[in-house]
């Protein structure tokens, strides 16, 4: 039962956020809260391969951006009523665009993962970064979809029975998707596959000796992670009503890694806390000084050099639990 | 069918160094076959070729009559080839029970399931507890592997290999670094398995080798110079010269 | 033909720049096992410090020692306070800590110099262009960069192959434990290597100043290309850094120079320019992906 306290608390906070924002008259709080939810999903998907699987991917923002672009491209074709490649019609239905975003980013992850996972160590870090940069420049070159400027989405995708013009409604849709996503992720990390993945992080050679073809499992995790990031990106495109190559710039990949580390690598709730810490820090520091990244850099440096296990690790130590 | 393992003309070079030089060797079903030789004779290289971590330059490896020369490591495991590592190689963050459980699960299958609960796989955990119950680690089952003593880690190595239900077990120096008592325990554990599976035992501890081995092969500079019983090996002048001789002197 | 030759020279010039950066980076990784994302920051610091001294004193030449010293000093400082703690850490910690350094250095530069690009004054001797071969006019300053880059390459070759420090460096990039076993003061060796890397980065930064704008973010742009060079060349290999640096410099420059023109042959000019530019940007990454798929450790991997 105690296990349920944290998730229930988190859901309650996020569910009450629009009310709180209205109460204190600060609409920006709801925006901040929504951004935390979406970045938490992206960071959690990265945590699946980085924290549970031990794969240091430095290009995760690419899948986030691909998911966002799927929404943007489908929307622009729906608007212009010109089928994509003359074959597929566009769409503005969230229940259509989200699954397609997941499938497309999953396919991108399948291709990139199948090639990248042949290497390891620093080469893996660099090749994932390289592929992400290639996707970044690919979208910059797509002048039909705005090139560097990206795509403006006039209206958030529609959901039958909901008024998606209302920002609060969009917020709750994001919350529901996020809760579903984290519930699914909970199943994954506690599944048979999750156990194999944790084993691979600790000792790949041993897993091979147990008869596990580690490459396939790593690739599977890589694809699942790409799909998760794509889902988060698709929501982001709906929320911002905008998508651009900046969403997949390599520094965004760096930020996702920072969120995972800040919260606690390989812990379930870490990415949520990490995303919250990062974005709240940005929100208030940026309010106070334009040089907020200096503060972020210093904090990050101190966290990496002097702490182990991020926020959750610190909480554990405070409780006098395991070291 | 009396041979579980047959190696013919196995060859491996690293640059100018011949690590495995035309090695031909067989392990009979049910036997404990020891492989001895001075340091640098190429024993570990040979083991790594057998289990598929290293690819041979030439030669063939048959496991129970099947050519496994070009199979990846994990497929050889499926066919019943188990191994232990010389330097213990465990899942350090997992408990002993989780280590063994994962080894059992890996063999049992269903490893791609993302919607089950691993703790609810009853048959896996029953088998795990059964394996542990018959071992020296029964009361250490909830300790993290990283916290085990060296001797306990060596025992866990063995249990992990057994959990894959091998027909042939490659043991890479299971006694290395063990004290006298622990060595005796390991010898007892291994003798207890005699007849259940075949073993290829690489070991420096001669007492253990002579206590366990049905036959012994001697590897020097990548070549098998002889194969025979303990007495034959002890009395062979070539072995004395190449190996035992240097220790007696 | 003249056009191609000119672009080849441009590629060579960009290539030696990449080499100056990659040489330090590859040694730092090969010997110390540290991924240093902040290497681009040292490049930026060299450019800013040198340019500041050059503009204040009015002498381009005084900027050179200034840029070198500033980059080396910051390098020593970074090594002593941060990098030293990262030797035993995994790659992830190294990536994050040095990523944090990028954020810190960028903001500090903004605080001191602002966001506007600054320009390095060029001595009058470098004005105009000279005729190298009939019909080919080329800016002398770019020739100077090429000369300096090649000189450094030769110098490094002698340092690595003919001196005791070089012997240790070679040993260290193939087998780190061996150097420790030799009883060498590893800490000193690390500091020297890191300082040398910082020095070369500072040199590259300052020399680039008159060609490109000196501005915040200049480090990151070239950092990614430098990493591509290091990975393609093989981590720890100076020779690899040289070959891959020159090769990538030429390929990248050629793509940028000629791809849009080629594309204009079969699409609208504005599209051709946009697509040409981004495909050129993808070029080096594509090349790296291909090389890694064929040789997962790069072309001249040290230590096999």
Q: Of chain A residues 171-190, which have a CB less than 8 A from chain B?
A: 187-188, 190
Nearest-by-CA chain C residue for A265: C92
Is residue C165 domain-resident? yes
DSSP one-letter string for C120-176: ----GGGSS-EEEETTEEE-HHHHHHHHHHHHHHHHHHHHHHHSHHHHHHHHHHH-H
Helix (H) or strand (E) holding B191: helix B180-192
- Neighbour subunits, A (≥3 Cβ pairs < 8 A): B, C
Give the pLDDT of residue C303.
47
CA distance to A297, C122, C123, C134, C151, per residue, from C128 (Å) = 43, 11, 11, 16, 24
Q: Which of C107, C271, C285 shows the shortest C-beta gap to A291?
A: C107
Question: In the numeric block, which tokens belong to residue A215?
Answer: 């490459």
Predicted local distance difference test score (pLDDT) of residue C174: 67
Per-residue pLDDT in tens (0 to 9) along chain A, 323 residues = 677 888 899 999 999 999 998 898 888 899 999 999 999 999 999 999 999 999 999 999 999 999 999 999 999 999 888 888 877 888 889 999 999 999 999 999 999 999 899 888 888 988 899 899 889 988 988 888 888 889 999 888 888 888 888 899 999 999 999 999 999 999 999 999 999 999 999 999 999 999 999 999 999 999 999 999 999 999 999 999 999 999 999 889 999 999 998 888 889 999 999 999 999 988 888 877 778 888 888 988 888 888 776 677 777 777 654 43
Interface test with B, best of A118, A183, A195, A313 (most B CBs within 10 A): A195
pLDDT tens, position by position, A286-314: 877 778 888 888 988 888 888 776 677 77
Tell me whether strands B81-84 and B168-172 are parallel, antiparallel or unpaired: parallel
pLDDT of residue A25: 85
Residues of A within 8 A of B73 (CB-CB) are: 208-209
Asked if A199 and B92 come within 8 Å (Cβ–Cβ), the reply is no
Contacts of B240 (CB under 8 A, 6+ apart): B248
- From chain A, the residues in CB contact with B106 under 8 A are 196, 207, 210-212
Domain holding B200, by residue range, is 3-248
Count other C-beta atoms under 10 Å from residue C270's C-beta. Answer: 11
- As for the ipTM of the complex, it is 0.90
Nearest by CB to residue A196, choosing from B72, B82, B111, is: B111
Domain that holds residue A122: 2-249
Say how many residues make up chain B: 249
For residue C130, being part of any structural domain is answered with: no
Residue A36 lies in a domain: yes
Q: Mean per-residue pLDDT for B184-192? A: 92
Task: Tell me what pLDDT residue C28 has.
Answer: 86
Find how far residue B11's CA is from the centre of its chain. 20
C-alpha B14/C-alpha B20 separation (Å) is 9
Could you report the per-residue pLDDT of B100-114, keeping only the tens digit for each?
999 999 999 889 998
Q: What is the pLDDT of residue A275?
A: 95
Q: Which pLDDT does position A309 carry in this prediction? A: 66
β-pairing verdict for B32-36 and B215-220: parallel
Contact between A119 and C292 using a beta-carbon 8 Å cutoff? yes
Range of the domain at C79: 12-120+143-294
> What residues in A contact B53, CB-CB < 8 Å?
205, 208
| Structural domains counted in chain C | 1
Pairwise CA distance, residues C20 & B175, whole Å:
51
The tokens for C257 are 């120079």
Across all residues in chain B, what is the average pLDDT?
89
Angle between helices A94-116 and A214-240 (to 10 degrees): 140
Q: According to the model, what pLDDT value does residue A273 have?
A: 93
CA distance linking residue A122 with residue A135, whole number of Å: 20
Round to whole Å and give the CA distance between A64 and A256.
10
Chain A neighbors of B131, CB-CB under 8 A = none
pLDDT the model gives residue A322:
42
Contact flag A210-B78 (C-beta cutoff 8 Å): no
User: What is the CATH classification number for the domain harbouring C274?
Assistant: 1.10.3470
Sign of CA dihedral A188, A191, A193, A197: positive
Angle between helix C186-208 and C218-233 (nearest 10): 120
Averaged over successive runs of 10 residues, the pLDDT of chain C (304 residues) comes to: 85 92 87 87 94 89 92 92 85 89 92 86 78 80 89 88 78 68 75 90 90 86 89 87 93 88 82 80 86 83 54
Look at residue B248 in the predicted model and tell me its pLDDT.
44
Tell me how far CA of residue B6 lies from CA of B57, B193, B196, B217, in angstroms: 17, 21, 19, 13
Cross-chain residue pair A190–B117, CB shorter than 8 Å: yes
What pLDDT is stored for residue A320 in this prediction? Answer: 59
DSSP notation for A182-229: HHHHHHHHTSHHHHHHHHHHH-HHHHHHTT--HHHHHHHHHHHHHHHH
Residues whose CB is less than 8 angstroms from the CB of residue C107 and which lie 6 or more positions away in sequence, other chains included: A291, A293, A294, A297
* A160 found inside a domain: yes
Q: Are C205 and C50 in contact (CB under 8 A)?
A: yes
CB contact under 8 A, A127 and C292: yes
Task: Classify the phi-psi angles of B159: left when phi > 0, otherwise alpha if psi is within -120 to 50, otherwise beta.
Answer: alpha
Chain A residues lying within 8 Å of C101, measured CB to CB:
297, 301
Query: What is the CA angle A142-A227-A265, rounded to 5?
Result: 115
How much is the pLDDT for C283?
87
Residue A316 falls inside a structural domain: no
Query: How much is the average pLDDT of B58-84?
Result: 92
Count of domains forming chain A: 1
């Amino acid at each position: 039962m105690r296990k349920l306290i944290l998730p229930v608390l988190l859901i309650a906070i996020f569910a009450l956020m629009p009310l709180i924002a209205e109460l204190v008259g600060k609409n920006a709080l709801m925006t901040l809260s929504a951004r935390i939810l979406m970045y938490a999903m992206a960071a959690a998907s990265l945590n699946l391969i980085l924290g549970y699987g031990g794969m240091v991917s430095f290009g995760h923002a690419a899948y986030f951006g691909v998911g966002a672009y799927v929404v943007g491209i489908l929307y622009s074709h729906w608007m212009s009523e010109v089928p994509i490649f003359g074959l597929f019609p566009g769409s503005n239905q969230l229940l259509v665009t989200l699954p397609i975003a997941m499938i497309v980013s999953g396919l991108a992850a399948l291709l990139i993962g199948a090639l990248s996972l042949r290497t390891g160590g620093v080469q893996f870090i660099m090749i994932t970064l390289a592929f992400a940069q290639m996707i970044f420049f690919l979208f910059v070159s797509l002048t039909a979809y705005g090139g560097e400027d990206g795509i403006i989405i006039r209206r958030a995708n529609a959901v039958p029975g909901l008024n998606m013009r209302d920002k609060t409604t969009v917020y709750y849709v994001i919350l529901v998707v996020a809760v579903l996503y984290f519930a699914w992720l909970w199943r994954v990390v506690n599944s048979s596959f999750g156990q194999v993945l944790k084993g691979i992080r600790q000792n790949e050679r041993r897993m091979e000796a147990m008869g596990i073809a580690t490459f396939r499992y790593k690739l599977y995790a890589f694809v699942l992670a790409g799909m998760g990031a794509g889902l988060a990106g698709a929501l982001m495109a709906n929320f911002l009503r905008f998508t651009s190559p900046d969403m997949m710039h390599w520094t965004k990949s760096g930020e996702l890694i920072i969120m995972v580390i800040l919260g606690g690598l390989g812990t379930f709730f870490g990415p949520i806390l990490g995303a919250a810490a990062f974005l709240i820090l940005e929100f208030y520091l940026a309010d106070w000084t334009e040089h907020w990244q200096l503060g972020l850099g210093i904090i990050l440096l101190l966290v990496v050099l002097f702490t182990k296990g991020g926020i959750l690790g610190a909480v554990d130590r405070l409780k006098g639990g395991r070291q | 069918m009396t041979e579980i393992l047959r190696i013919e003309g196995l060859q491996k070079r690293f640059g100018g160094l011949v690590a495995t030089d035309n090695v031909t060797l067989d392990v009979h079903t049910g036997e404990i076959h020891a492989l001895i030789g001075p340091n640098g004779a190429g024993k570990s290289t040979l083991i790594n070729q057998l289990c598929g971590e290293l690819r041979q330059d030439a030669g063939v490896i048959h496991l129970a009559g099947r050519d496994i020369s070009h199979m990846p490591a994990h497929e050889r495991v499926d066919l019943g080839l188990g191994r232990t590592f010389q330097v213990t190689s465990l899942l350090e963050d997992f408990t002993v029970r989780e280590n063994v459980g994962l080894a059992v699960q890996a063999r049992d299958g269903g490893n791609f399931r993302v919607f089950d609960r691993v703790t609810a796989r009853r048959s896996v955990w029953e088998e795990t507890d059964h394996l542990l119950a018959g071992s020296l680690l029964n009361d250490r089952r909830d300790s993290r592997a990283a916290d085990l003593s060296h001797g306990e880690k060596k025992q866990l190595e063995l249990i992990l290999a057994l959990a894959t239900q091998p027909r042939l077990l490659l043991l890479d120096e299971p006694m290395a670094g063990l004290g006298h008592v622990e060595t005796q325990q390991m010898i007892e554990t291994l003798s207890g398995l005699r007849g259940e599976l075949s073993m290829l035992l690489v070991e420096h501890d001669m007492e253990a080798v002579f206590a366990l081995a049905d036959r012994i092969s001697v590897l020097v500079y990548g070549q098998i110079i002889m194969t025979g019983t303990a007495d034959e090996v002890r009395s062979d002048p070539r072995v004395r010269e190449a190996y035992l001789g240097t220790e007696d002197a | 033909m003249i056009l191609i030759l000119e672009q080849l020279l441009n590629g060579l010039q960009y290539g030696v720049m990449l080499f100056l950066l990659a040489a330090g980076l590859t040694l730092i990784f090969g010997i110390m096992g540290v991924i240093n994302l902040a290497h681009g920051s040292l490049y930026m610091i060299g450019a800013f410090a040198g340019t500041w001294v050059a503009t204040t004193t009015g002498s381009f030449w005084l900027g050179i020692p200034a840029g070198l010293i500033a980059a080396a000093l910051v390098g020593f400082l970074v090594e002593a306070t941060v990098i030293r703690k990262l030797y035993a850490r995994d790659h992830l910690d190294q990536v994050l800590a040095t990523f944090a350094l990028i954020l810190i250095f960028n903001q500090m530069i903004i605080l001191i110099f602002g966001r506007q690009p600054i320009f390095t004054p060029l001595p009058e001797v470098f004005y105009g262009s000279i005729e190298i071969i009939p019909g080919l006019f080329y800016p002398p300053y770019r020739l100077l960069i090429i000369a300096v880059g090649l000189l450094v390459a030769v110098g490094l070759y002698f340092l690595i192959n003919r001196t005791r420090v070089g012997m240790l460096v070679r040993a260290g990039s193939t087998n780190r434990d061996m150097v420790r076993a030799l009883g060498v003061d590893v800490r000193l060796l690390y500091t020297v290597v890191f300082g040398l890397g910082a020095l070369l980065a500072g040199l590259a930064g300052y020399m680039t100043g008159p060609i490109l704008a000196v501005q915040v973010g200049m480090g990151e742009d070239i950092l990614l290309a430098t990493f591509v060079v290091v990975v393609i060349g093989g981590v720890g290999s100076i020779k690899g850094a040289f070959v891959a640096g020159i090769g990538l410099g030429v390929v990248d420059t050629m793509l940028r120079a000629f791809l849009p023109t080629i594309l204009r042959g079969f699409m609208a000019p504005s599209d051709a320019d946009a697509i040409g530019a981004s495909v050129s940007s993808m070029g080096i990454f594509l090349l790296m992906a291909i090389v890694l798929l064929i040789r997962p450790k790069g072309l001249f991997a040290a230590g096999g």
